[in-house]
Structure 1
Amino acid sequence: MPLHHPCLKVLIAYEDPLVSIGLHTVFNERADILVVCASMLNGRYVEPLVDVVIADLACGLRIAAERRQLERTVRAPAARLLVITPHDTEENVRAALDAGIQGYIGLGSPVQELIEAVRSVAAGGRYLCAQATQRVADSLTRASLTARERQVLGLVAAGCSNKDISAALAISLSTVKAHVKALLDKLGASSRTQATSLAVSRGLITASSLPHPKAPSAPSVAPIPTRSQGRRPWQHAWMARIQAETPLAKL
């Protein structure tokens, strides 16, 4: 006599319409999984009573953040969260787990693994695909970067000098050098260039955020720039971003 799993209710909150249609097709072919429609209010998903919410990473992180705000005033059981994403970098896996997301699988995972992940998460467990599990395992063998080291890493990747970093973060030059040495050691890098490359491969920074060299233009006569004027536009952008996120107090 065949075993019958209890019917699970899932909500698909995947923002890519093609992926969303594919997920609907997969679940609609199964008698033991019911897809529940979601409504939208002011750009936010209004969750009906379901067992699992399936979302892309960005949407899953937003839902998790909204729940943390609601938990302060509303004590109600919430559906479990499973994210499906093409990005399995260490940074993304860490972000999902830190946000309280219970399931994480790759976009190219087999259908049977998706079904297994939904059932596992609905039953109260956690599910990580093989790639995400490997990322977590690898990260456990390395010391993690502190928040300040991540800021320094971003500025290093932007090509800022130690003096630029010192000015941007309002810390001493010796402190900058200590942070640079610490992050190089933690990344296992021997140079700033290698540190940037390793950080991109681990997902600590994105390649799109790095500066792209432009073709040299014809030389022109110009006044000698000040230190601030001599910085590249992308260095100004990185420093402005870091300064906006950094308190004035020195760390």
Structure 2
Amino acid sequence: MTVRLVIVDDHPVVRDGLRGMFVEQADLEIVGEAGDGERGLAVAERERPDVVLTDLRMPGLAGAEFIRLLAERVPSARVLVLTTYDGDDNVLPAVAAGAIGYLLKDSPREEVFRAVRAAAVGETVLSPAVAARVLNQVRAPAPAELTEREHTVLGLVARGSTNKEAAAALFISETTVKTHLAHIYAKLGVSDRAAAVATAFSRGLLP
């Protein structure tokens, strides 16, 4: 079985390096590549690969949103993340969005080859550091539920609203918005807006 692969990474040097690696593997064939998520989607829709090997942080469409759209448009393609970022705000949203694997760019090439082959047949592959983070998330105690108002505030924050804008939209004071955010941070176990949004997405609290 030949695994058909698309590479999505905004660094040409990385794409060149990966191409050089995979050319040595008779059963792994690169059928397309792209430097951002928009082009990656187009290439994947055209080529219908078995695996899409992608970075997370790229200009324009990237990260969990790219993975979600890819799952919608090319559901047969397995998404394998290859990145330098292993923080919870990167790992958890990517896995929640549908990535079947998550490797770091310092992984040995043989590990990358094995991961691509495993992803192609539907097996989950996580680097040790990433696996530990996912396991910790699973083992974490059930979070307290957000109130309806807290959920609304979080939704506004996720869409980019400032405290002032959220207050105006809900006809409440900025102080009240800050209080709601403090409660949200405590319930989600985070310390800032970005982490709150990422965690909420990973737990399915936001669409």
TM-score (norm 1): 0.56
Q: What do the CA deviations read for 1:138-191 (whole angstroms, capped 9, x no partner)?
A: 22315388555646989xxx8x6xxx5872452646964355235235438xxx
Partner of 1:170: 170
Stretches of structure 1 that go unaligned for 5 or more consecutive residues are 1-5, 72-76, 189-194, 207-251
**Alignment partner for residue 65 of structure 1, among 62, 69, 75?**
69
Deviations 1:13-43 (A, max 9, x none): 2221111111111111222222223589x84
Aligned residue for 1:84, secondary structure, equals strand
Equivalent of residue 138 in structure 1, options 122, 136, 139? 136
CA distance in 2, matches of 1:144, 1:85: 32
What SS does structure 1 have at the residue aligned with 2:99? coil
Instruction: Compare CA radii of gyration and give the structure with the larger one.
Output: 1
Partner of 2:92: 94
Matches within 5 A, 1:119-158: 119-140=117-138, 141=140, 143=143, 147-148=151-152, 150=154
Counterpart residue type for residue 84 of structure 2: P
Q: 1:60 to 1:24 in 2, by over 3 A?
A: farther
Q: 1:65 to 1:89 in 2, by over 3 A?
A: same
Is residue 51 of structure 1 aligned with residue 50 of structure 2?
Answer: yes
Structure 1 residue 91: deviation in Å? Answer: 2.1
Q: Structure 2: how far apart are the matches of 1:115 and 1:149?
A: 44
Runs of 4+ displaced beyond 4 Å: 144-154, 171-176, 203-206
Matching of residues 190-205 of structure 1 within 5 Å: 195-196=191-192, 203-204=195-196
SS in structure 2 at match of 1:125 = coil
Contact 1:60–1:83 (8 Å) recurs in 2: no
**Structure (1 or 2) with the greater helix fraction:** 2
Q: Does the CA contact (< 8 Å) of 1:88 and 1:106 recur in 2?
A: yes
Task: Please tell me whether the aligned partners of residues 103 and 128 of structure 1 are also in contact (alpha carbons under 8 angstroms).
Answer: yes
The letter for the 1-side match of 2:53 is: I
Alignment correspondent of 1:9:
4
**Number of residue pairs matched?**
177
Q: 1:120 to 1:34 in 2, by over 3 A?
A: same
Instruction: Look up the equivalent residue of 1:181 and give its one-letter code.
Output: H
Q: For the residues of structure 1 that align with 2:137 and 2:153, how far apart are their CA atoms?
A: 16
Preserved CA contact (<8 Å) 1:61 1:99: yes
Query: 1:10: Cα distance to partner?
Result: 1.4
* 2:183 paired residue number: 181
Which of 10, 21, 24 aligns to 1:26? It is 21
For the residue of structure 2 that corresponds to 1:45, the secondary structure is: helix
For the aligned residues, what is the CA RMSD? 3.7
CA contact (8 A) 1:153 1:180 kept: no
Q: Secondary structure at the match of 2:42?
A: strand
Tell me: CA distance 1:182–1:107, structure 2 relative to 1, closer, same or farther (3 Å). same
Does structure 1 conserve the Cα–Cα contact (< 8 Å) formed by 2:7 and 2:34?
no
Aligned partner of residue 37 in structure 1, secondary structure:
strand
Q: Percent of aligned positions with the same letter in both sequences?
A: 27
Q: Counterpart amino acid of 1:116?
A: R
